[in-house]
Amino acid sequence: MTNLLSNAVKYNHRGGSVQVAVGVDAAGQRTIAVRDTGRGFTPEQLAHLFEPFQRFVEPHEAIEGTGIGLVITRRWSS
C-alpha cells in the first residue's frame, strides 16, 4: 500500500490529487483502488508496467526509484 501511494504522489504533478477507495467485491474480497491525476501511461508502457526495473521517467525528471516497487507490490498481493 505504501508503494502505491508513494508512486501516486511521486509521479503526480504539482497541485494534483490522489484518491483512495476501499471496498468489498461480490466475492467478499477487500479491494483498494488508488487513482491520481498524474500523466498516466501509454498502452506500450502498460504492457511493461510490472516488469522489474522498468521506469517511465522523462529525461528532465529527477524522480528517484529502482523500478521494482510495483513488481514487489503485485507479487505480495497475489
* Average pLDDT of the residues in 33-57: 86
The cell for 63 is 524522480
Q: How many domains does the chain have?
A: 1
The span from the CA of 39 to the CA of 56, in Å, is: 11
- Please state, in angstroms and as integers, the Cα–Cα distance from residue 70 to each residue in 15, 48, 63, 75, following that order: 24, 11, 15, 8
- Between vectors from CA 25 to CA 20 and to CA 30, what angle results, nearest 5°? 55
Has residue 33 got a pLDDT over 80? Answer: yes
Q: What is the pLDDT of residues 48-78, one digit of tens each?
A: 888 888 787 777 777 777 677 777 777 666 5
**Residue 39, domain CATH:** 3.30.565.10
Domain assignment of residue 62, given as a range: 2-77
